[in-house]
Amino acid sequence: MTRDDFRIISDLASRRTGIDLGEHKAQMVYTRLSRRLRHLGLTSFRDYVRLLERDEDGGETAVLVNALTTNLTKFFRSETHFDHLRDVVIPDCRERIRRGQSRRIRIWSTACSTGEEPYSIAISILRALGENIAGTNVRVLATDIDTDMLERASAGVYGDKWNGRLPGLEAGGGGLRWTLTGRRHQSAQVEE
């Protein structure tokens, strides 16, 4: 990959997503896109750049973006954020509900990857409000620029990723069972 190829790719990524790919990211870009070039049967990054320049429907550009994003996530990943949610945000919401000011809670989780963090937010709210959740309209909007990750997040299937990360949900069953219901506008549901 030449410097010009890297510049064109990094400029495209920046215009499309805001991702800043400085020169220090050239090796990462080379590694991640080499697989794509092999898959397409291309022999040079120049050929790939030409393909991107002719990408009228944006399909290959979306594949490029998906290849360049880093998808680091897990349930309850950032302890300080969940401490703030528990100690500040949820008590404020609970107090507004108690005073009859608002029964709406809206949270936007950006860069949600496969969805563990927004589901962790929903779980935290459901657990904290308990029976006070009745009549409360809770929405957690989860967004990401990686369309492959959003597809996985929409499925809401995590298998063994749950084990050991959620108190009350250990291997072998027991505790609460968290499931995803709905289709387009997903909603979390909890069952005893």
Could you name the CATH architecture of 3-68?
Orthogonal Bundle (1.10)
Whole-number pLDDT of residue 168: 47
Question: What's the CA angle centered on 183, arms 77 and 56, to 5 degrees?
Answer: 85
- Classified as helix, coil or strand, 190 is strand
What does CATH list as the number for 79-191? 3.40.50.150
CB 105 within 8 A of CB 138: yes
Residue 34 pLDDT grade (very low, low, confident, very high; cuts 50, 70, 90): very high
Name the more confident of 120 and 162: 120
- Classified as helix, coil or strand, 191 is strand
Torsional sign, CA 70, 75, 80, 81: positive
Active-site annotation holds for 144:
yes
Name the more confident of 157 and 36: 36
- Classified as helix, coil or strand, 12 is helix
Whole-number pLDDT of residue 105: 87
Task: Round the average pLDDT of the chain to a whole number and report it.
Answer: 79
Q: Mean pLDDT over residues 81-100, rounded?
A: 88
Rounded CA gap, 172 and 192, in Å?
A: 15
CB 180 within 8 A of CB 191: no
Whole-number pLDDT of residue 48: 93
Q: Considering 38, 106, 127, 144, which one is annotated as catalytic?
A: 144
Whole-number pLDDT of residue 134: 74
Whole-number pLDDT of residue 166: 59
Active-site annotation holds for 32:
yes
Residue 63 has pLDDT above 60, yes or no: yes
pTM of the entire structure? 0.65
Count Cβ atoms below 10 Å from residue 77 Cβ, excluding itself. 14
- Classified as helix, coil or strand, 10 is helix
- Classified as helix, coil or strand, 180 is strand
Could you state, in order of their start, the residue ranges of all structural domains in the chain?
Answer: 3-68, 79-191
Residue 31 has pLDDT above 80, yes or no: yes
Q: Considering 32, 36, 46, 127, which one is annotated as catalytic?
A: 32
